[in-house]
Amino acid sequence: MNGDFLALLPKTVIPQAGSNAPSVPPLHATTVFAFHCADGVIAGDHRATAGNIVFSDKTEKILELDSHSLMAIAGSPATAFEMGRMLQTSFEYYRRSQFQPMSLPAKIRALSQLLRNNLAGTIQGFGVVAPIFAGVEANDPSAKPQIYFYDPLGAQFEATNYAGSGSGSGSIKSVLSFLERWGQPKPAEMSVSQATVLANRLLMTAAEFDTATGGVHPEKKLFATIKLVAPAGIRSISVAEQEQFWKESMQ
């Protein structure tokens, strides 16, 4: 016995392609982030890639789990989307069977459990998911939205002001850290319009240093996918709203 826990785990046999088979780069859902603003939590995302190829600039990587919680995904989209569907089903089943929504702490733990159950895929590298969770207690109108980020093995951490995941998240978190210290206003004090403009600028900034992040071009009316989590529920910030907010910020 060498004390190696991972060596004791069951191995999943993955069929190997022939030596002459072309190498297919895995699909990755890239940069996602969330931060507090004056009216709730703003969550944003955009591009998905396969190796050095832009797979899609319209991949929906912010999944609404119910009316008061969402999951932003980075990593393997196939695994993450399946986790999202399972959470949507379990949250809805609980609501219908118990005649009340699941509590926010229970939702947070449910995502953690799914990540732990995905241990085999995480270890072998083909099903790694590093999500961000944002939600608010549905039965408490005075409750404040919360942000949690997870490691691929299911450990959960509450983010005081912001969280990011994916290849471009380092740049985004650096900018948010600067703004939290010296910004006027700070992100947590911004209105929805200001926070929406900031979210797009964050992705544009990250794209300068990360080839897997991009696709935001206001001059072409191409904006990020942005959602607001608030005590009243979740709402998507439409392209028309984002265009108007952007024009106002330029005046």
Higher pLDDT, 142 or 59: 142
Q: Which of 12, 30, 59, 211 is catalytic?
A: 30
Which residues on neighbouring strands pair with residue 109, listed in sequence order? Answer: none
Dmax (CA) of the chain: 69
The C-alpha atoms of residue 99 and residue 79 are separated, in whole angstroms, by 30
Answer whether residue 229 is part of any domain.
yes
State pLDDT tens for residues 188-243: 999 999 999 999 999 999 988 887 777 788 999 989 999 999 999 999 999 999 99
| Beta carbons within 8 Å of 207's beta carbon, 6+ residues apart | 168, 213, 214, 215, 216
Q: Environment class of residue 210 by beta-carbon count within 10 Å: exposed (0-12), middle (13-18) or buried (19+)?
A: buried
Q: Which residue has the tokens 């046999």?
A: 13
Q: State residue 14's pLDDT score.
A: 46
Q: What pLDDT is attached to residue 101?
A: 94
What spatial distance separates the first Cα and last Cα of the chain, rounded to whole Å? 69
The band of 121, judged by pLDDT with boundaries at 50, 70 and 90, is: confident
Residue 170 in any domain: the answer is yes
pLDDT, residue 45, reads 82
For residues 80 and 62, give the distance between their C-alpha atoms in angstroms, rounded to a whole number: 10
Whether 213 is catalytic: no
CATH, residue 82: 3.60.20.10
Whether residue 20 is contained in a domain is answered as no
Indicate whether 11 belongs to any domain: no
User: Would 161 be classed as within a structural domain?
Assistant: yes
**Confidence grade of residue 51 (pLDDT, cut at 50, 70, 90):** low
Residue 21: pLDDT over 70: no
Mean pLDDT in residue range 61-76: 92
Number of domains in the chain: 1
- Mean pLDDT to the nearest integer, 44-51: 66
Percent of residues, the chain, with pLDDT higher than 70: 83
Per the CB < 8 A criterion, the answer to whether 75 and 58 are in contact is: no
User: How confident is the prediction for the chain on average, in pLDDT?
Assistant: 86
Is 4 inside a domain boundary? no
Q: Residues 73-115: pLDDT tens digits?
A: 888 888 999 999 999 999 999 999 999 999 999 999 999 999 9
Question: 72 in a domain, yes or no?
Answer: yes
Is 12 inside any structural domain? no
The residue range of the domain holding 60 is 27-250
Separation of alpha carbons 191 and 209, rounded Å:
28
